[in-house]
Amino acid sequence: MLNIKNEVLVRLYLLAAAVLVVAVVITGRLYQLSVVQAPKWEAKADSLFLKFVDVYADRGNILATDGSLLATSLPFFDVYFDAKTTGLTDEVFEQNIDSLAWLLSTYIDQQYTPGAYKNWLQQLREADPSTRGIRYVPIAKNLNYNKMQLLKNFPIFRLGRFKGGLIVEQTSKRERPYKMLAQRTIGYVREGALPVGLEGAFDKVLGGLQGKQLMLRVQGDVYIPVNDLAEIEPRSGDDVVTTLDVNIQDAAQNALLNACKAHDADHGCAIVMEVKTGAIRAIANIGRAQEGWWETYNYAVGERVEPGSMFKLASFMAMLEDGHLDDFDQKIPVYGGKVKFYDEELVDAVPHGLDSMSVRDVFAQSSNVGTATLVQQFYGDTRRASAFVERLRRFGLDRATEIEVGGEELPLLKSPNDPKTEWSGTTLPWMSIGYEVLETPLQMLTFYNAVANDGRMMKPYLVERIEHYGAPVREFRPTVVKRNIAGRRTIAKAKELLRGVVETGTAKNIRTDLYPIAGKTGTAQLHYHKFKSRAGIRHQASFCGFFPADNPVYSCIVVISEPKRGGYHGAEAAAPVFRQIADKCFALKSDMHPPVNENPRPKLATAQMPSINAGQSEDLESVLKWLELDWYNDRDMPEWAVMKAKNDSLLMLPRIVSDKTVPSVVGMGLKDAVYLLENRGCRVRVKGVGKVVSQSIAPGTRANGRTKVLLTLN
């Protein structure tokens, strides 16, 4: 029994020793492969290495509200040639090399002759396979689709990838069909730079989902696709449909650009917002760049400055809300346009020399002294100043708009209860006229838009919906920020004040009879110090308002920074731009036009009726019936007739036309006049356009083939 146990133990020891020897051998071999021979095997792996790389999806489009393309990706193609592909035989190569060389020289790159192309291709074919880059030689870069299709039909290349060595890689470039139109708002996404605008804000939506492509590493540390198709297909990005209206955007940008040029300004911006919804229909930014005027920065969203006199609307609304203003015709002192607060002098922008003005005129004429005097009178101590600031907060002037594009600066409202804001004795009067407070143009417009919208503040937004191949993915609806920023009476009175600015005040130069405008001019000094010195002062001209004033459809703000010629006041530099934009909007939107048949038809004066219009009786009757104009005649009408205005009526009279004499064609259209004269043998010459006002040959003159008649039209 003992011998058996010993025999078993011996066998176990032998087995363990064998296992140990094998383990030592394996460990040694692993060490040899991974450490000693590592460079050799790494070099071998590098020469033939497969890996998956990302395949970027087609980027989605950015569209205007009517579907117009604002930004899209256009496909371009890079073409490479694998001269050593196994499927390309020497026989096929030699038979087609001449034709391929001629086509490449003719259609792809004409700086090389067919002979040079042939020699180059033969060198690629005959070179040592270990030569760097031999299997991935660039033939052409950034070909458009049509040229790529042409190249794919060249000899050898038409055999495809494995038999012809043709490798085609698609790339894409972001293009803006309207070039500078809303460029900064559309924005961009670039490697090594912060994303900007809608492209940046909706990068993940537009970018889609990446796919995977199996790539082969060849000599020269170059990867080529193993297959023409991706192993995992990418999902194309969604389209972003904006609220921008191409026509309004174009009008805003052109008007702003012309104003910046005319006034030699540093930069400017203009925004058009739909009153009821808060949808941004246009947002234009113009600034100086090395290449000229360009959209270099989104001033409308990101530039926080002192708004100047536009802010006076908030000051007057605060006084209205607190019951301090009851009678707009009440006279208040303006001290000849100069007043001191704590040894600091405040002056009106335009000297007037008046001792007093009505409250209405203080606002309409933008009196700094009158506004500051009123606010100081009602809110002069710390407690009441806090109430004034609280009113401004209720108006939403301390809120960011949270617009989709990034870069918005937060507004700044000083408070006597916050030591960080550096409140002083002069802060309140200067704050009342738009200084020592910071707002962006979009934030200021949002406040004015709320006034136009009867007190309801809407969130400004730039994106209506997200689509995938036309099918809605997500919709963005109008958002109410505050249901009422102020009482109905305050809003009604504010609208009255704003309308007065255009009717009789500082902006009367943009008044029009086509539609009523309400708004406020602003002229602010940039980086001022209490108006102490006028030397080297830079200005900002602005105008903010809405139209039509009685039923607002659009609100708009225009800001021109540092105008150097042609006037620097808001009425001179900014208000005319507002008017140009408003005129375009009015022309585009028929809903703003009052119906022509809204009121009873007025009686037309004799001069307004179609007198001395002649032609065929039936034609005249048809036109009069279509125009719903009444007429009468006292006899049966022949073929030709003439209209005559008499008092408030139209009388149709016969026009006698003889077959042998020159007829009277005065009052006729050219077609009827030529018909009558040429049928009677006359030779007709014409001068002018319109209807016939005179003829060179008197009616009744005998006509023949030599009679020449000159007709003057007007």
Query: How far apart are alpha carbons 231 and 357 in whole angstroms?
Result: 79
Cα–Cα distances (Å) from 205 to 170, 189, 201, 263, in that order, read 21, 13, 9, 41
Q: What is the mean pLDDT of residues 367-376?
A: 94
Mean pLDDT of the chain: 86
Kind of pairing between the strands at 480-482 and 222-225? unpaired
Question: Taking a C-beta distance cutoff of 8 angstroms, is the pair 535, 488 a contact?
Answer: no
Angle made by CA atoms 106, 110, 113, in degrees to the nearest 5: 85
Is 80 exceeded by the pLDDT of residue 2? no
Cβ neighbours, 10 Å, residue 667: 20
**pLDDT attached to residue 676:** 86
Most confident of 167-171, 280-284, 422-426, 528-532: 280-284
Region of poorest pLDDT, from 48-52, 315-319, 577-581, 620-624: 48-52
Q: What is the mean pLDDT of residues 555-580?
A: 95
Q: What is the mean pLDDT of residues 68-89?
A: 86
Percent of the chain scored above 90 by pLDDT?
A: 43
Q: Is the dihedral of CA 391, 395, 401, 402 positive or negative?
A: positive
Query: How far apart are alpha carbons 582 and 282 in whole angstroms?
Result: 12
Q: What phi and psi values does residue 203 have, to the nearest 5 degrees?
A: -60, -45
Is 80 exceeded by the pLDDT of residue 131? no
Region of poorest pLDDT, from 3-7, 112-116, 582-586, 667-671: 3-7
Question: Taking a C-beta distance cutoff of 8 angstroms, is the pair 528, 561 a contact?
Answer: no
What is the pLDDT confidence band of residue 493, given thresholds at 50, 70 and 90?
very high
**pLDDT attached to residue 465:** 95
More confident residue, 344 or 458: 458
What is the pLDDT confidence band of residue 570, given thresholds at 50, 70 and 90?
very high
Question: Taking a C-beta distance cutoff of 8 angstroms, is the pair 269, 441 a contact?
Answer: yes
Give every CB contact of residue 71 below 8 A, 6+ residues apart in sequence. 61, 62, 174, 175, 176, 186, 199
pLDDT digits (tens, 9 = 90+) for 673-696: 888 888 888 888 999 888 888 988
From the DSSP assignment, how many helices (H) and strands (E) are in the chain? 22, 30
What is the pLDDT confidence band of residue 160, given thresholds at 50, 70 and 90?
confident
Query: How far apart are alpha carbons 189 and 203 in whole angstroms?
Result: 8
- Bridge partners (DSSP) of residue 561 are 267, 540
Query: How far apart are alpha carbons 134 and 137 in whole angstroms?
Result: 6
- Bridge partners (DSSP) of residue 686 are 711
SS3 content of the chain, % helix, strand, coil (to 5): 35, 25, 40
**pLDDT attached to residue 677:** 86
What is the pLDDT confidence band of residue 368, given thresholds at 50, 70 and 90?
very high
Query: How far apart are alpha carbons 567 and 675 in whole angstroms?
Result: 59
Question: Taking a C-beta distance cutoff of 8 angstroms, is the pair 300, 286 a contact?
Answer: no
Question: If 0-12 CB within 10 Å is exposed, 13-18 middle and 19+ buried, where does residue 260 land?
Answer: buried
**pLDDT attached to residue 537:** 79
Q: Which domains does the chain have, with CATH numbers?
A: 53-241 (3.90.1310.10), 249-556+583-590 (3.40.710.10), 606-656 (no CATH), 657-714 (3.30.10.20)
User: C-alpha 175: how far from its chain's center?
Assistant: 15
Cα–Cα distances (Å) from 68 to 71, 177, 246, 249, in that order, read 9, 9, 8, 12
Is 90 exceeded by the pLDDT of residue 483? yes
**pLDDT attached to residue 219:** 53
More confident residue, 450 or 346: 450
What is the pLDDT confidence band of residue 42, given thresholds at 50, 70 and 90?
low
**pLDDT attached to residue 133:** 42
What is the pLDDT confidence band of residue 633, given thresholds at 50, 70 and 90?
confident
What is the pLDDT confidence band of residue 632, given thresholds at 50, 70 and 90?
low
**pLDDT attached to residue 373:** 94
More confident residue, 469 or 608: 469
**pLDDT attached to residue 584:** 95
Is 50 exceeded by the pLDDT of residue 364? yes
Query: How far apart are alpha carbons 527 and 543 in whole angstroms?
Result: 20
- Bridge partners (DSSP) of residue 73 are 174
Kind of pairing between the strands at 292-294 and 69-81? unpaired
Region of poorest pLDDT, from 125-134, 611-620, 684-693: 125-134
Is 80 exceeded by the pLDDT of residue 378? yes
Give every CB contact of residue 415 below 8 A, 6+ residues apart in sequence. 386, 389, 421, 423
Is 60 exceeded by the pLDDT of residue 371? yes
The amino acid at 697: I
**pLDDT attached to residue 38:** 73
**pLDDT attached to residue 342:** 85
**pLDDT attached to residue 532:** 46
Region of poorest pLDDT, from 17-26, 32-41, 269-278, 541-550: 32-41
Question: If 0-12 CB within 10 Å is exposed, 13-18 middle and 19+ buried, where does residue 464 land?
Answer: buried
Query: How far apart are alpha carbons 139 and 100 in whole angstroms?
Result: 12
Q: What is the mean pLDDT of residues 409-428?
A: 90
**pLDDT attached to residue 348:** 86
pLDDT digits (tens, 9 = 90+) for 506-550: 999 999 999 999 999 999 988 665 444 454 678 999 999 999 999
Question: Taking a C-beta distance cutoff of 8 angstroms, is the pair 263, 255 a contact?
Answer: no
Length of the chain (residues): 714
**pLDDT attached to residue 528:** 60
pLDDT digits (tens, 9 = 90+) for 43-75: 555 545 566 666 667 889 999 999 999 999 888
Give the H/E segment covering residue 62: strand 62-63
Residue among 272, 305, 270 nearest 286 (CA): 270
Question: If 0-12 CB within 10 Å is exposed, 13-18 middle and 19+ buried, where does residue 647 land?
Answer: exposed
Tokens 């335009």, residue?
350
What is the pLDDT confidence band of residue 232, given thresholds at 50, 70 and 90?
low
**pLDDT attached to residue 138:** 86
Query: How far apart are alpha carbons 492 and 665 in whole angstroms?
Result: 59
Q: What phi and psi values does residue 146 have, to the nearest 5 degrees?
A: -65, -40
Is 90 exceeded by the pLDDT of residue 593? no
Most confident of 89-98, 210-219, 494-503, 702-711: 494-503
Query: How far apart are alpha carbons 687 and 255 in whole angstroms?
Result: 38
More confident residue, 307 or 90: 307
Question: If 0-12 CB within 10 Å is exposed, 13-18 middle and 19+ buried, where does residue 639 land?
Answer: exposed
**pLDDT attached to residue 228:** 57
Is 80 exceeded by the pLDDT of residue 648? no
Region of poorest pLDDT, from 240-244, 363-367, 510-514, 694-698: 694-698
Percent of the chain scored above 70 by pLDDT?
A: 88
Question: Taking a C-beta distance cutoff of 8 angstroms, is the pair 195, 203 a contact?
Answer: yes
Record the tokens describing residue 323, joined without a space.
């019951």
Read off the pTM.
Answer: 0.74
What is the pLDDT confidence band of residue 418, given thresholds at 50, 70 and 90?
confident
Query: How far apart are alpha carbons 641 and 242 in whole angstroms?
Result: 58
Is 80 exceeded by the pLDDT of residue 340? yes
Q: Roughly how many angstroms between the first and final C-alpha of the chain, as a whole number?
A: 141
What is the pLDDT confidence band of residue 225, given thresholds at 50, 70 and 90?
low
3-state secondary structure 643-692: EEEECCEEEEEECCCCCCECCCCCCCCHHHHHHHHHCCCCEEEEEECCCE
**pLDDT attached to residue 533:** 46
